[in-house]
Amino acid sequence: MTKAYAAQSAKSPLAPHSITRRDPKPADVQIDILYCGVCHSDLHQARDEWHDAAPTAYPCVPGHEIVGRVSKVGSGVTKFKAGDLAAVGCMVDSCRTCSSCQRGLENYCLSFPTFTYNGADKHSGGVTYGGYSDRIVVDEAFVLKVSEKANLAATAPLLCAGITTYSPMRHWGVTAGQKVGVVGLGGLGHMGVKFADAFGAQTVLFTTSPSKIDDGKRLGADEVVVSKNAAEMKAHAGSFDFILDCVSAEHDINSYLQLLKLDGTLCLVGAPEKPLPVAAFNMLLPRKQFAGSGIGGIAETQEMLDFCAAKGIASDVEVIPIQKINEAYDRLVKGDVKYRFVIDMASLK
């Protein structure tokens, strides 16, 4: 049996629970989990906030920002051995044969990737259980390498918050000479600010929290705009090449569409519970794009981890024992996060 924390229903707090992990098959890596980041998606899923778009199967064991040490490998594993550091993000499998998988875009697998939690587990026939647990068993094709020099707690959030912000910035070619906005300074947003800054862009953070202005600048923003201030927003009208929207709740995206210049892109990575209405005229004059992006492929995730190791980039974390997970969720809802909660899995022992 593997110790875990699970939600038993949309309304119940997370609580101790036992799950079964398979014994490693030939291609599998068994990882003893050291740290697991707390993504707002964990909360959306545990509380069934995505409804029919991604209904939750209970019990639900969230967690997809996993760093640990390999404790066992299957007979066919070549990339890992017992004792190695290893990481797992949002996916544990995909079809591997479709056109997306062949392009290294397993996140856009045409048969749907197997997500790390609440996914259809090909091995057990049940659902996958995530990283709020002692250990996990994953096919080596979906296991990432972590540098021995890395701060492990601060590395865990890269597996979702990191790749989810890195991938669209790479795809839309964020670079020096561009003006780039990041909306919402939470787990994703603070990595977005770090990457936009690292890619050399003029970086502007939009926040609803005046208390985060100084942190926004320390994290790499050249300017911080309090989005509730209409005059401050208006001053940036028509000036952005790219804006990454990392907000977890209902908000007015029209006010950001108005900030794009000709052919600029507003990319949504936040996944709020309710639809976000778009006013047509905000899309027409000038011509612009409203886009979206979901996590990133395995090769790009490794590229991002290596980029972060080379540049000394990691997440700003508040490490918590797993017993504080419900309190952490309540704080996430209030935007009270600096800037990623990470569970020290030793607390589960």
- Tell me: does residue 85 bind Zn ion (CB under 5 A): no
Min dist. Cβ of residue 324 to ligand NAP (A):
16
Q: Which is nearer to ligand NAP, 80 or 206 (CB)?
A: 206
User: Could you tell me how many residues of this chain bind Zn ion (CB under 5 A)?
Assistant: 8
Residue appearing with tokens 């890619």 = 199
Long-range contacts of 176-179 (CB under 8 A, 24+ apart): 176/200, 176/201, 177/201, 178/202, 178/241, 178/242, 179/204, 179/239, 179/240, 179/241
Q: Which is nearer to ligand NAP, 70 or 219 (CB)?
A: 219
Cα(243)–Cα(331) distance, rounded to whole angstroms? 26
Considering CB distances under 5 to 8 angstroms, the limit depending on partner class, which of ligand NAP, Zn ion, none binds residue 247? ligand NAP
**Helices 187-198 & 161-171, crossing angle to 10 degrees?**
40
Cα(343)–Cα(65) distance, rounded to whole angstroms? 10
Q: By CB under 5 A, which span of 90-98, 122-130, 145-153, 316-324 interacts with Zn ion? A: 90-98
CA angle 45, 255, 329 (to 5 degrees): 25
Rg of the chain over Cα atoms, rounded to whole angstroms, equals: 20
Cα(204)–Cα(192) distance, rounded to whole angstroms? 10
Indicate the DSSP class of residue 56: P
Q: Which is nearer to ligand NAP, 133 or 315 (CB)?
A: 315
Considering CB distances under 5 to 8 angstroms, the limit depending on partner class, which of Zn ion, ligand NAP, none binds residue 150? none
Residues at the interface with ligand NAP (CB under 6 A): 39-41, 44, 160-161, 164, 184-189, 207-209, 212, 246-249, 251, 269-272, 293-295, 332, 335, 337
Q: Which is nearer to Zn ion, 41 or 258 (CB)?
A: 41
Q: Which of 41, 56, 118, 258 binds Zn ion (CB under 5 A)?
A: 41
Q: By CB under 5 A, which span of 52-60, 101-109, 190-198, 339-347 interacts with Zn ion? A: 101-109
Q: Rule CB under 5 A: which residues touch Zn ion?
A: 39, 41, 94-95, 98, 101, 109, 160
